[in-house]
Chains A and B, each alone.
Chain A
């Protein structure tokens, strides 16, 4: 069966510091991968999605970037965090345009 991992689970970072969140999927090949952000008490906002290695689509202009160095690995990064980057970050996978399945999430607090 398929499993999706995210780490770290919780992160507290100072403003201006770099960020790297990692997501990996097991049990499937060539998945579509997604990064979402959820502000406190709000719905999900799609940040990036990827249909293959090295292929990244950005949905919202922002302080973040994404990379997909391997088929089942998706990384969310920032060179300098802002206070507004705080939130709950969720990675998801799907096969083609089918149902998306989510990881456990990373709660990021920028101070």
Chain B
């Protein structure tokens, strides 16, 4: 069963505007971690932001914030003030369980920032 779903294969956003990339997940474990990674055309995976299942507040890192809605099992990434350099693939990922090592990745969303 697919555990991480990213329903937007591609997204366009105007430079300097905000954009939300969707991610829903499925797990029965009360302890889990959610991650977002950016993959530019060079191929490297760049860690952006982390949200733990017990964290009370939404995670923020600079222009990135994670809109964590636990009841809906969603962990959307919000990028504020988009820049041309934000054009890339974005992956949502989940690590299940306090004792788990396996991280499951979604299929990704390609973001295009227009000048």
Task: From A46, A51, A105, A107, give the contact of B103 (CB < 8 A).
Answer: A46
Task: Please report the total number of A residues contacting B with Cβ < 8 Å.
Answer: 23
Cα separation A105 to B39 with both chains bound (whole Å): 11
Task: From A42, A49, A101, give the contact of B101 (CB < 8 A).
Answer: A49
Q: Enumerate chain A residues within 8 angstroms of B44, measured Cβ to Cβ.
A: 102-105
Q: How far is the CB of B73 from chain A (nearest CB, A)?
A: 18
Chain A, residue nearest B37 (CB): A102
Restricting to B44-72, which residues have a CB under 8 Å from any CB of A?
A: 44-47, 50
Cα separation A46 to B93 with both chains bound (whole Å): 12
B105 touches A44 (CB 8 A): yes
Task: Please report the total number of B residues contacting A with Cβ < 8 Å.
Answer: 25
Q: Enumerate chain B residues within 8 angstroms of A99, measured Cβ to Cβ.
A: 35, 47, 50
Q: Enumerate chain A residues within 8 angstroms of B93, measured Cβ to Cβ.
A: 44
Cα separation A1 to B86 with both chains bound (whole Å): 25
Contacts A43-B4, A44-B105 supplied; 16 other A-B pairs, CB < 8 Å: A42-B107, A43-B91, A43-B107, A44-B45, A49-B101, A90-B45, A97-B95, A97-B98, A99-B35, A102-B37, A103-B44, A104-B43, A104-B44, A105-B44, A105-B45, A107-B43
B105 touches A101 (CB 8 A): no
A24 at the interface (CB under 8 A from B): no
Given known A51-B101, A99-B35, contact A43–B43 (CB-CB < 8 A): no
A101 touches B47 (CB 8 A): yes
* A 32-48 to B, binary, CB cutoff 8 A, 1 in contact else 0: 10100000001111100
A97 touches B45 (CB 8 A): no
Most-contacted residue by chain B among A45, A51, A92, A100 (CB, 10 A): A100
A88 at the interface (CB under 8 A from B): yes
Cα separation A41 to B104 with both chains bound (whole Å): 16
